Structure 1
Amino acid sequence: MLEKLVRNRRIAKSKNCRVKYGNPKDFKTLQVRITHEDTVYTYEIDSEKLSVEKDSIHFYPKVISGELFIRWDQETEENIKLISKD
């Protein structure tokens, strides 16, 4: 079992971004690193909070005045945490 599964996404003009994780029983933590321009937003969620019936989560990026705002799908939103913004 992996300790951490890391997925990287770059924001372009997407409105609906998919993060595929496969089987959540194969890792403890899913880390999602979202890059917008020169800033990396790092989010984490425990695999126990991910659905075994799905293999991915979605987020919806919105850029307002150059700043990135992320809205996660309903099942994910309560459990995913912003760890860092570099």
Structure 2
Amino acid sequence: MLNYKIKIKAFDGYILNLSVIKILNYISKQNIKVNGPITLPTKKKIYTILRSPHVHKKSREQFQWFIHKRVLVVYNVTSNCLKQIELPSGVKLEKTKC
């Protein structure tokens, strides 16, 4: 029995919240103690690209990229228990021992 810190990342906040609810429902069926979800700060990346490759240097376009994060702390879990959860594409799950 181990304690795990589960960090969940996604580009879409709505899909991230749905997957956190799915994980919490799965964990509650197993009668496992959990703390969270803890909301971490959203990371924002901005990329600026020239629209025209030659003459119009002042004409630029900006793109934003948001990375939403949540943390769950799960107590007294076997390592195989968390592998059975199916998450939607675009959601990354990182598991570390506490």
Structure with greater proportional strand content: 1
Fold conserved between structures, TM > 0.5: no
> TM-score normalized by structure 2?
0.28
